[in-house]
Structure 1
């Protein structure tokens, strides 16, 4: 079934929500602070003279794509602060019924359990609410932090894709990981991936993980 838009997903103090016009200053500051950190992992345009689109263009385009059901682009926030992004794009319906999940958090939040919770929240939504069959994540082999997210969420490694995505000036190899709906025991709340992650990692006493 189509995902509603705008969409919000929550787990305790973690909120995934759409980018808004008033987010411009905080969002651009987070990107600027993490420019060096993101350079090695962030997909880029192989046509080198194409700069990142202005905020207004990005805002308009992501909302258009979300309303067209082609993607789900969400900010990762906690207590009002923007920590990063998680998205499902492209989303394919019909025979494939799948989505590719991408994510990033600022370097200050790496290892704090933010990225796995965000990815798990979105994965559970894609399975339980959007009715998809398969999710996929593609990670550079050098990205140890992102590989740990795949490991913590029990994503199944499917192999190396040579020169798969353009990153930092060249087409780079990526490891592909996947998970299907049949591999997740989803309960009545629709939270199979997140429930498993929370059960397996350190808790703060309220059912939410600490820095793991």
Structure 2
């Protein structure tokens, strides 16, 4: 296993943990319910959204994510909300394409249930994951690539202090076409002085 994995991270009601086999139904339900919300930002699917996000399809997703984590190329977290009623899966945050040695870098990608979008779940999840990657995970740099039109996702990284570094033309095949993306990045030095990214996010929320 790679440094810092497996891991369970939390802040308030937001919980990040590795996926479990038993997440199949919850994962399928939230993915299917959010097709209109998610499909326009995700890689072009090779098949119907309904079938690719079925409980049966989760078995392949789960296997692929576990394999990537074992190989050290990803830290894939289920994003959950915890309440007195229990735990509810509401999204996913993956630190992927991890390369170590002189690079010590990875990419962050995430999605969230539209019913909790804008409530601070993903900024909290991203801050938790980045702090963990820089500390226990031994990484130095995290990048995020976002379509220019995806204003909600851009606001997430911009308010956390990710800097815009690049504009990638026709970067990924998304929703049926090659789409431009804006490249954002953050290094460990960018947040060390602030006591970590989660501490920065807490201060921002306190002054909002």
| TM-score (normalizing by structure 1) | 0.87
- Is 1:173 the counterpart of 2:180? The answer is yes
Aligned residues: 199
Q: Runs (4+) of structure 1 moved beyond 3 Å?
A: 48-53
Question: C-alpha separation between the residues in 2 aligned to 1:33 and 1:49?
Answer: 17
C-alpha contact (below 8 Å) 2:79/2:93 kept by paired residues = yes
Unaligned ranges ≥5, structure 1: 204-211
> For residue 128 of structure 2, what is the aligned residue in structure 1?
121
SS state at 1:82 partner: strand
Please say if residues 88 and 101 of structure 1, whose CA atoms lie closer than 8 Å, have aligned partners that are also in contact: yes
SS in 1 for 2:52: coil
Partner of 1:74: 77
User: Does the CA-based 8 Å contact 1:15-1:76 persist in structure 2?
Assistant: yes
Deviations 1:28-62 (A, max 9, x none): 000000011101111235xx459738211111111
- Structure 2 gaps of 5+ residues are none
Point out the structure with the larger helix share.
Answer: 2
- For residue 74 of structure 1, report the CA deviation from its aligned partner: 0.6
Separation in 2, partners of 1:146, 1:202: 21
What TM-score results when the alignment is normalised by the length of structure 2?
Answer: 0.89
1:5 aligns with 2:5: yes
| CA displacement at 1:12 relative to structure 2 | 2.0
* Residue 4 (structure 1) shift: 4.1
- DSSP 3-state at the match of 1:40: helix
Query: Which residue number in structure 2 is paired with residue 158 of structure 1?
Result: 165
1:143 shift after superposition: 0.5
The answer as to whether partners of 1:186 and 1:193 remain within 8 angstroms in 2 is no
SS at match of 1:184: helix
CA RMSD of superposed structures (Å): 2.0
